[in-house]
């Protein structure tokens, strides 16, 4: 059954990763995603399912849908006008006031919470099956298998994600968990903050034998970042493969191992 606006009103209440009840229609045909990883995930199921996504949702690259602002500043009016059956969000990426505004507009909002690989695979499976009403895709099992190989090489690293000011990956993060599975110990993995600000002098003095520089959220590159760390080897890595949870997880171990192994001292 659909209401006068065309939205499906036959609902089944399910609970998202925060335990919040979400009245998702029994038949989901229109999805808005506020997170790049979730956009790529939904597109892998059925590209026609997505009607809106953020300007930061770059994969798949040929996705032709409405853009609804950013992860931190979604356009609530535009999203509402798209009449989505469900809006997909993440408790770290998106702001609670924006999600409250979407709920106030009468839209079901499904929130994911992902801090490590097992949680990612569980969360995505639940989101796909309960919030999108689709069968679990084969790539979920392929991702679990791809990450199942033990790594014995041990490296101690700092992982900057921003400069001016310098910020690094701290405790309880998805990126930190993936690096640990690749034999990289995050030297700030026990810091009380998830993304602490540190001075460059502190980063240089911590005793890292590797600096991991992803190309997002800050776009570190061969000419922007490695020069700050003198004689310490630096690895330029794909931010999508280090921080996104979705189909990219299948190829992420191989991509990141190759990039980590290519670490070198840069002038």
Whole-number Å distance between alpha carbons of 244 and 179: 13
For the chain, which ranges sit under pLDDT 70?
1-11, 267
Burial 49-70 (b: 16+ CB within 10 A, else e): bbbbbbebbebeeebebeebbe
Hey, where are the domains in the chain?
A: 11-136, 148-261
Residue 119 to residues 64, 124, 148, 177: CA-CA distances in angstroms?
30, 8, 15, 11
What's the confidence (pLDDT) of residue 1?
40
What's the confidence (pLDDT) of residue 12?
80
Residue 234 in 3-state DSSP?
Answer: strand
Closest by Cα among 24, 26, 2, 27 to 13: 24
Strand-pairing partners, residue 90, are 112
DSSP state of 118: H
DSSP state of 84: -
Half-sphere CA count of 3, side-chain side, radius 13 A: 11
Residue 101 in 3-state DSSP?
Answer: helix
DSSP state of 190: T
Domain 11-136: which CATH number of 1.20.1050.10, 3.90.700.10, 1.20.210.10, 3.40.50.1980? 3.40.50.1980
Half-sphere CA count of 252, side-chain side, radius 13 A: 29
What's the confidence (pLDDT) of residue 150?
74
Using CA atoms of 7, 62, 37, 167 in order, give the dihedral in degrees to the nearest 10. Answer: -130
Whole-number Å distance between alpha carbons of 129 and 192: 35
**CATH for 148-261?**
3.40.50.1980
Whole-number Å distance between alpha carbons of 147 and 14: 29
The structure tokens listed for 40 are: 């790529």
Whole-number Å distance between alpha carbons of 207 and 215: 23
Q: Which contacts of 73-82 are long-range, i.e. CB under 8 A and separated by 24 or more positions?
A: 73/98, 74/34, 74/98, 74/102, 76/101, 76/102, 76/105, 78/52, 79/32, 79/52, 79/105, 79/107, 80/105, 80/106, 80/107, 82/30, 82/32, 82/51, 82/52
Is the fold of 11-136 the same as that of 148-261? yes
What's the confidence (pLDDT) of residue 172?
96
């Amino acid at each position: 059954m659909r209401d006068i606006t065309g939205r499906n009103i036959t609902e089944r209440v399910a609970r998202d990763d925060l335990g919040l009840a979400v009245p998702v229609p029994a038949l989901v045909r229109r999805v808005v995603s506020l997170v790049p990883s979730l956009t790529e995930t939904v597109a892998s199921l059925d590209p026609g399912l997505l009607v809106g996504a953020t300007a930061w949702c770059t994969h798949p690259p040929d996705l032709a849908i409405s853009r609804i602002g950013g992860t931190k500043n979604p356009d609530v009016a535009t999203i509402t006008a798209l009449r989505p059956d469900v809006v997909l969000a993440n408790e770290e990426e998106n702001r609670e006031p924006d999600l409250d505004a979407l709920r106030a507009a009468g839209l079901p909002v499904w929130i994911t919470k992902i801090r490590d690989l097992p949680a990612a695979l569980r969360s995505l499976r639940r989101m796909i099956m309960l919030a999108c009403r689709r069968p679990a895709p084969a790539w979920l099992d392929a991702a679990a298998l791809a990450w199942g190989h033990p790594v014995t090489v041990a490296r101690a690293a700092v992982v900057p994600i921003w400069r001016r000011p310098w910020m690094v990956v701290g405790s309880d993060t998805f990126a930190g968990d993936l690096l640990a599975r690749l034999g990289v110990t995050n030297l700030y993995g026990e810091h009380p903050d998830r993304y602490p600000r540190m001075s460059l002098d502190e980063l240089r003095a911590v005793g890292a034998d590797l600096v991991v520089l992803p190309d997002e959220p800050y776009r570190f590159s061969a000419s922007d970042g490695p020069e700050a760390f003198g004689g310490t080897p630096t690895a330029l890595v794909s931010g999508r493969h280090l921080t996104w949870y979705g189909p990219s997880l299948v190829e992420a171990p191989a991509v990141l191992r190759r990039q980590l192994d290519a670490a070198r001292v840069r002038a």
